[in-house]
Amino acid sequence: MSKFQSTFPENFLWGGAIAANQAEGAYLEGGKGLTTVDLLPTGKERFSFMLGKVDSLKLKDGVYYPSHEAIDFYHRYKEDIALFAEMGFKCLRLSIAWSRVFPNGDDEIPNEAGLQFYDDVFDELLKYNIEPVVTTCHFDVPIHLVEKYGSWKNRAMIGFYENYTRTIFDRYKNKVKYWMTFNEINMLLHAPFIGAGIIVNEEENKEQVLYQAAHHQLVASALAVKACHEISPNAQIGCMLAAGATYPYTCHPNDIWEAIDKDRESFFFIDVQSRGEYPGYAKRYFKENNLQIAMEKGDEEILKNNTVDYIGFSYYASRCASTDPEVLSQLTEGNIFASIKNPYLKASEWGWQIDPKGLRITCNHLHERYQKPLFIVENGLGAIDVLEEDDTISDDYRIDYLKAHFIEMSEAIKDGVEIIGYTSWGPIDLVSAGTGEMKKRYGYIYVDKDNEGKGTLRRIKKKSFYWYQQVIQANGENL
């Protein structure tokens, strides 16, 4: 049993989290291939695209694609990492773009320029003793795999992903100690195109397609765990869940059950990745809904023998569940996970319900369910910031949000939950995954760029920069 912690452990990994497609830009440089996210525009059209209603896999003239330049981390990573180091980061979560390493996804030989880029980034981090925490796939499936194979609908993806992950585990085995397989794996059910490169055809049984794709991802994830343990025995590899507790809207038993049921849509993935087998409730669901999940001999054994070392998750908001049609007619907007409005909570400008205590609840739930270390790999407030004439940004609302969440995180640690680290989302402003906007900012560092792509890309420290620097320095003792 791990030691009781009355406060943040000494080696707690404070840091921030970014993703290749939302930060790097340079979308075709260094031999990189096109990915799903490179096709996502901004505005209303983006949402239907993300859900899998995709009319074409070609770029269109006259459309602005925010990932193409993003915040140009590809060229500015040294400057950005120096700023992270100045804040005292112990780790940086980032993702490798699959299509930088294998531009088409099914190539025989990896692209050396892509591999070299991440070598350079990891070296730069290690120079400042910043631990890289690496997601193998953060929403960006090489477009060739979508066109030729239908992405994760197709079992062939398992082999391509295994080859890709073996390549990067081997290449970076002396540099990376923390890995994660698929970002927000449960996103597949809610937004299949951004989640897993899946286009849903009208004639298909959507659930059948999605759960089959989920099976392929789960086997692929387990094979990545296996490969990581073989190639890099000192590394740890985790899963990544879009978390957030679901509360029953009332104490009516039907609402209680509804909340459990809603959470299980997400836990389903982690139950397989962490416990190594399909849970009974999933088998029942498949049977009663006539879903046939094609499995090959050996799949169950692969899942059983290769479970994750830790549970990575994002936490932005909690949700409510109800069975009352009256209540259900008032769903909140602004998030892929539509939720009933919780009358006790305030929401962000994008309608995400702010619930610090929900983080403590989520940590306790996950700990009780899996009995493995947790890693909070995304959390934060997307808000509109104002750059004043004197080049300052007073983002007190962000400090308030983070502070309240940190206090609840420390409560969870006192509850006995083992937490490896905390990486806030977008420590430097970057492109929003959900909306493609730049003005939905999460950073401690402001980036001069607007929703239309205009701006100098200049980096400016916000008030929260200095605040987070102090939190890290005091290891959370000063909250």
Instruction: List residues with catalytic annotation.
Output: 184, 378
CB of 240 to ligand P53, least distance (A): 8
Q: Which residue has the tokens 């996804």?
A: 105
Quick one: which of 126, 291, 336, 460 contacts ligand P53 (CB under 6 A)? 336
Restricting to residues 285-324, which ones interact with ligand P53 according to CB under 6 A? 314, 316
Residues near ligand P53 (CB under 6 A), total: 17
Reduce the DSSP state of residue 91 to 3 states and report it.
strand
Identify residues 440-459 at the interface with ligand P53 (CB under 6 A).
440
Contact present, 376 and 238 (Cβ < 8 Å): no
| CB closer to ligand P53 out of 42 and 410 | 42
- Residue 434 contacts ligand P53 per CB under 6 A: yes
Side-chain-facing half-sphere of 462: CA atoms under 13 Å: 25
* Shortest reach from residue 156's CB to ligand P53, in Å: 26
Cβ 241 to ligand P53 shortest distance, Å: 10
Shortest distance in whole angstroms from residue 140 CB to ligand P53: 10
The rounded distance, in Å, linking the Cα atoms of 242 and 219 is 19
Using CB under 6 A, which of the segments 119-127, 141-149, 320-328, 427-435 binds ligand P53? Answer: 427-435
Q: Which of 8, 65, 425, 465 binds ligand P53 (CB under 6 A)?
A: 425
Pair of tokens at residue 115: 């591999």
Nearer to ligand P53, 316 or 468 (CB): 316
C-alpha torsion 65→383→247→209, nearest 10: 0
How many whole angstroms separate alpha carbon 117 and alpha carbon 433?
23
Counting contacts by CB under 6 A, is residue 183 touching ligand P53? Answer: yes
Nearer to ligand P53, 115 or 361 (CB): 361
Q: CB-wise, 19 or 143, nearer to ligand P53?
A: 19
- Residues between 2 and 21 with contacts to ligand P53, criterion CB under 6 A: 19
Q: How many other β-carbons are positioned within 10 Å of the β-carbon of residue 262?
A: 19
Query: Can you say how many angstroms the Cα of residue 364 is from the centroid of all Cα atoms in its chain?
Result: 20
Near ligand P53 by CB under 6 A: residue from 101, 272, 374, 433: 433
Alpha helix locations (H) across 371-419? 396-414
Instruction: Give the residue with the Cβ less far from ligand P53, 40 or 228.
Output: 40
Instruction: With both helix axes pointing from N to C terminus, report the angle between 396-414 and 463-473 in degrees, rounded to the nearest 10.
Output: 20
Q: Which stretch binds ligand P53 (CB under 6 A): 32-40, 66-74, 229-237, 431-439?
A: 431-439
Q: How far is the CB of 337 from ligand P53 (least distance, A)?
A: 7
Q: Which residues neighbour 339 within 8 Å (Cβ) at sequence distance 6 or greater?
A: 317, 319, 320, 331, 332, 353
Q: Is 35 in the site for ligand P53 (CB under 6 A)?
A: no
Residue 49 makes contact with ligand P53 by CB under 6 A:
no
Show the tokens assigned to 479: 């909250």
| Structural tokens at position 279 | 């849970």
If the CB atoms of residues 204 and 349 are measured against ligand P53, the closer one turns out to be 349
> Which range binds ligand P53 by CB under 6 A, 115-123, 230-238, 366-374, 432-440?
432-440
Angle, vertex CA 313, rays to CA 312 and CA 316, nearest 5: 155
Query: C-beta of 263: minimal distance to ligand P53 in Å?
Result: 14
Contacts of 406 (CB under 8 A, 6+ apart): 422, 471, 476, 479
In this structure, which amino acid lies at residue 121? V
The amino acid at 235: A
Q: Is 335 in the site for ligand P53 (CB under 6 A)?
A: yes
- Element containing residue 340 per DSSP (H, E): strand 339-340
The answer to whether the CB of 136 falls within 8 A of the CB of 108 is no
In the complex, minimum distance from the CB of residue 234 to ligand P53, in angstroms, rounded to a whole number = 27
Q: C-alpha angle with apex 101: 100 to 104, nearest 5 degrees?
A: 80
Annotate 22-69 with DSSP letters as a single string. Answer: HHT--TTGGGPPPBGGGG--SSHHHHHHHTT--S-SS--TT---TTTT
Binding segment (CB under 6 A) for ligand P53, from list 25-33, 202-210, 416-424, 433-441: 433-441
Residue labelled with tokens 């025989």: 108
What residue number has its CB nearest to ligand P53? 434
- Member of 242, 340, 366, 374 binding ligand P53 (CB under 6 A): 242
Q: At what angle do helices 206-231 and 156-171 cross, to 10 degrees?
A: 30
Q: Does 332 bind ligand P53 (CB under 6 A)?
A: no
420 touches ligand P53 by CB under 6 A? no
Which of the residues 363 through 402 are near ligand P53 (CB under 6 A)? 378, 382
Beta bridge partners of 419: 374
Beta strands in 157-202 (DSSP E): 178-182
Among 307, 432, 451, 464, binds ligand P53 (CB under 6 A): 432
Q: Which residues bind ligand P53 (CB under 6 A)?
A: 19, 22, 183-184, 242, 314, 316, 335-336, 378, 382, 425, 432-435, 440
